Amino acid sequence: MRLAFRKPSVLLSDVTFCGTEGAHRGDIKIRANKIVSMSRNLDGSKGTLRAEAADAVALPGLVNSHDHLDFSLFPNLGHGPYANYIEWGDDIWQRDKSEIEAVLRVPMRDRLLWGGYRNLFAGVTTVVHHNPYFAAFDRDYPVRVVKDYDWAHSLDLEKERSHIRAGRRPFIIHLAEGTDALARDELDRLHALGALTSKTIIVHGIAIQKESLDNVPKGAGLVWCPSSNQFLFGQTADIKTLATRFRIALGSDSPLTSKGNFLDEIRSARATGIATDRELIAMITQTPASLFGLQGLGNLEEGGIADVLLLDRQGTDPWESLWPATQRNIQLVLKAGKPMYGDERFEPLFEALGRPYDRVNCEGRVKLVGGKFAKLVERIERVLPEARRKISP
């Protein structure tokens, strides 16, 4: 006979969260990987782990719509501004070859893992990875990686021409990444190839011209990566105009070109003043959930997947706590109900649902990290000693 041990439910009690009619204060009850109820004074008796969260706000786990998880250990490389992405690639291979080769000595599995942790420490629970999907994402990986996608690098650097086509799955391609004629023509070229459909999701779009927008079908998406654009080209995409035709999501891009982690990217986006706070929130939650077909994600709701981010409460509206937040302010991250990163006071949750985990110091606050994080850091440092400053949460 097999004995089935039922895992305890979790009750996050007295937390502030965003409901359909604004901010609420109440409890969130989670069973297995789902949110089962969100209400006041929920029953937290038998078989329930109660976690007090009166000083926290609850947001949905964030969605980062563009990263290259295998590039996670690179520093910023580039000496821009450049005219387009090809110029940048050629330049860094010429000037920074030894730096690139040093990072590539870290085994792929560890670079990928670090990419997952980088996102987790920024409150991200779902990442859209640009490059081939790796088997490592399926087992004990810190964040969820979108699996159902087709991709091509870009119109000029994609080696397989046959990859430049939009089928039934979301089709992701870097496009119009630059400021010159080459970048400007790319949307028209994509259209001429028949690869601009309602399933197409382009990344960057800096050089897109208003006249080319007529060809954009309803439903197509665009991922905005403001800090990467700024670093390489000294400017970013005209999101206000692009939003008239594209559904917009936000992506960090890789640390080769981005300013920091996903929380920093959100601040970079907000600092442009191009999007309202409400638009920005949609770009990191509901819009990517819809673009990439992520059912039950991007929103806190009964019946939804329990990707929950608890942050130190700062201000009255729950989202106000996000804008200044650093990884230190993240009290807890649950991915599908499993604690992955959080403050020491949530240790009973980690003990019951999140083993193995490690204890690390984050800007003077002790944090618990799910998985074998300390061993990962040791392995990386053995190959890349100078990584020290980058690999603490």
Cα-based distances in Å from 202 to 144, 184, 187, 328: 21, 14, 9, 33
C-beta of residue 174 within 8 angstroms of C-beta of residue 207: no
Closest to Zn ion by CB, 157 vs 366, is: 157
Backbone angles phi, psi at 177, to 5 degrees: -95, 85
Measured distance CA(236)–CA(179) in Å, rounded: 9
Closest to Zn ion by CB, 125 vs 229, is: 229
Measured distance CA(330)–CA(343) in Å, rounded: 8
| Pick from 76, 86, 78: nearest CA to 252 | 76
Measured distance CA(63)–CA(284) in Å, rounded: 5
For residues 194 to 233, the per-residue mask of contacts with Zn ion, x marking binding by CB under 5 A and - elsewhere, is ----------------------------------------
User: What token pair was written down for 128?
Assistant: 């859209």
Closest to Zn ion by CB, 258 vs 331, is: 258
Q: How far is the CB of 209 from Zn ion (least distance, A)?
A: 21
Closest to Zn ion by CB, 88 vs 350, is: 88
In the block, tokens 């998406």 appear at: 221
* Residues numbered 349-368 forming contacts with Zn ion, rule: CB under 5 A: none
Closest to Zn ion by CB, 258 vs 329, is: 258
Measured distance CA(177)–CA(104) in Å, rounded: 25
Instruction: Compute how many residues bind Zn ion; rule: CB under 5 A.
Output: 1
* Residues numbered 228-267 forming contacts with Zn ion, rule: CB under 5 A: 253
Between CA 165 and CA 227, with CA 193 as vertex, the angle to 5 degrees is 70
C-beta of residue 266 within 8 angstroms of C-beta of residue 252: no
Measured distance CA(307)–CA(311) in Å, rounded: 13
C-beta of residue 143 within 8 angstroms of C-beta of residue 125: yes
Q: How far is the CB of 64 from Zn ion (least distance, A)?
A: 12
| Pick from 207, 171, 188: nearest CA to 86 | 207
Q: How far is the CB of 114 from Zn ion (least distance, A)?
A: 17
C-beta of residue 58 within 8 angstroms of C-beta of residue 310: yes
Closest to Zn ion by CB, 256 vs 294, is: 256
Closest to Zn ion by CB, 195 vs 306, is: 195
Q: How far is the CB of 129 from Zn ion (least distance, A)?
A: 10
State the DSSP H helix or E strand holding residue 352, giving kind and residue range, or none if neither.
Answer: helix 347-353
| Pick from 304, 266, 305, 312: nearest CA to 64 | 266
User: What token pair was written down for 51?
Assistant: 């976690």
User: What token pair was written down for 39?
Assistant: 């209400």
For residues 153 to 192, the per-residue mask of contacts with Zn ion, x marking binding by CB under 5 A and - elsewhere, is ----------------------------------------
Q: How far is the CB of 190 from Zn ion (least distance, A)?
A: 16
Q: How far is the CB of 178 from Zn ion (least distance, A)?
A: 13
Q: How far is the CB of 42 from Zn ion (least distance, A)?
A: 42
Q: How far is the CB of 68 from Zn ion (least distance, A)?
A: 6
Closest to Zn ion by CB, 17 vs 82, is: 82
Closest to Zn ion by CB, 131 vs 299, is: 131
Q: How far is the CB of 188 from Zn ion (least distance, A)?
A: 21
Question: Contact positions toward Zn ion, by CB under 5 A?
Answer: 253
